[in-house]
Structure 1
Amino acid sequence: MAAPRALQPCRGLPLLLGARRLSGRAAASEPLRQRFLRYLCSRFYDIESLVDWSAKLHFKNLRRKNAYCGYTRNLYGDNIAAAYFALSLHGGVRFQGQERWFRAERHGTFNSDFLQFRDVPVEAIDLAGSVVNYHGLDNLVKLTALKSLDLSRCPNVDEWALSRLHVFAETLEELSLAGCPQVTERGLACLQQLENLRRLDLSHLPAVPCQGLLRILVEEMLPGCEVVGLDSGAQTSQAEEVPA
């Protein structure tokens, strides 16, 4: 008598296992780049959502860090509010008649010693490398004795932000825009009202072409100002190559 069907050996099982082994070997031999691209394609919508969420979170944090310090201003006045804003961005502040700089610690914390200078004007602010932008400058425009402002390496400082600096026309003497990737020649034209500027650092501005020519224009625009950083040599050599 033949064995029951359920107890008969499954002749197709070795073939199935062999096929799976071959499939696994083929997948393993497939280039890693192709497997990664196929994985990305299968998860495309998830990645798109993740990128969108990340962008929204970035702009939300940027808006929060550049918020107007209205509560601090109402309690302590314009100078303390500006100092608090600078320190909250890991920057520094110096008050008029003082040599000491108040600066945030490595982790962004700072003490409240600067509150004792409530009635002393802010003379210098260092925001180098911070995320300050057009809206964040709301916290500085009320300063009436600001002489030095360092905005070097600030990724969000653009022509719109520079257009707000005209309020310091009577006081600002030193300004650094070195390493700001969004500063263009159009933004630099906004500085023409800073008639008391004595030193302007324009080093390493990747968005500014023809730096030699721009240097000449800035020096004509601000005749009493020392312009640092713009290379005039390249423009001069190009001018010499042009036939008369």
Structure 2
Amino acid sequence: MQWRELRRGRALRRQNTENAYIQNHYGDDVTAAHFVLSNGGGARFKDQSHWVRAGKNAMAGLLPYLDDPKSRPVVAIDLSGSSLTCTGLENLVWLKHLEFLDLSACPHLDDWALTRLHPLGETLCHLSLARCPRITERGLACLHLLPNLLHLDVSELPAVAQQGLMCILLEDMLPNCQILGLKEAPPPPLAGSQSQPGVGSH
């Protein structure tokens, strides 16, 4: 059993390691896209309406973008349901034009990983963290580092206990953002709203 866990851990680290050769030859955007496709996700480049998705060879799907990679930066990434960890996130945080990031249903994504998103603060507008079981209030509190968010999905986060208070905090931190998923805290009862003995009795 211990051997299986060790093997699984090595595989997870390998999945989340960047490719130094691609980084040196093609830069951050192609490196990030290659990482995403290698992990079963999808990437969309600037001025492109379609997504590049994973196939048998991740690099083959990126061939049209290799001639002049700086002219077509990555603007959207879908890593939903992937084995992304904090280490793997390092492949994405240096993207200068990323606007959309779907990290929903990532079982290994935790609060520490969310602290690494701050380099994306100037461009990121859409973020999904829905159904990530390890994210808690502490991780969500770091999202003030993404002040330009317009859409945030935090649905079905079982580790967030104080959802009402967290909803209020997020709305205060991100006033221009549409927040999905957290239940707002019920308003406090109005003074005198409860029936008092003898009031209204005849």
Q: After TM superposition, is the score higher than 0.5?
A: yes
Q: 1:194 to 1:243 in 2, by over 3 A?
A: farther
The aligned residue for residue 100 of structure 1 is 50
Ranked by relative contact order (alpha carbons within 8 Å, sequence separation 6 or more), the top structure is: 2
Coordinate RMSD, CA, aligned: 1.9
Identity %: 48
CA distance in structure 2 between the partners assigned to 1:73 and 1:187 by the alignment? 29
Give the SS at the match of 1:125: strand
Aligned length: 189
The aligned residue for residue 175 of structure 1 is 127
Matches within 5 A, 1:1-244: 51-105=1-55, 109-110=57-58, 112-117=60-65, 118-119=69-70, 120-232=72-184, 235-236=185-186, 239-240=188-189
Tell which deviates more after alignment, 112-121 or 217-226: 112-121
Distance 1:75 1:155 in 2: 32
Aligned partner of 1:19 in structure 2 is none
Determine helix, strand or coil for the equivalent of 2:62: helix
Please state which structure has a larger fraction of its residues in helix.
1
Q: Secondary structure of 2:75's partner?
A: strand
Read off the aligned partner of 2:177 and give its amino acid letter: C
Q: Would you say the 8 A contact 2:53–2:61 is kept in 1?
A: no
* 1:43-100 superposed Cα distances (whole Å, 9 cap, x missing partner): xxxxxxxx11111011100100001221111121111000000000000000011101
TM-score, normalised to structure 2, is 0.88
Greater C-alpha radius of gyration:
1
TM-score normalised per structure 1: 0.73
CA distance in 2, matches of 1:174, 1:148: 5
User: Which 5+ residue runs of structure 1 have no aligned equivalent?
Assistant: 1-50
Contact 1:95 1:123 survives alignment (8 Å): yes
Give the distance between the partners of 1:216 and 1:147, measured in 2 at CA. 24
Q: Please tell me whether the aligned partners of residues 69 and 139 of structure 1 are also in contact (alpha carbons under 8 angstroms).
A: no
Q: Structure 2: where are the runs of 5+ without partners?
A: 194-202
Contact 1:80 1:115 in 2 (8 A): no
Residue pair 1:180, 1:205 contacting (<8 A) in 2 also: yes
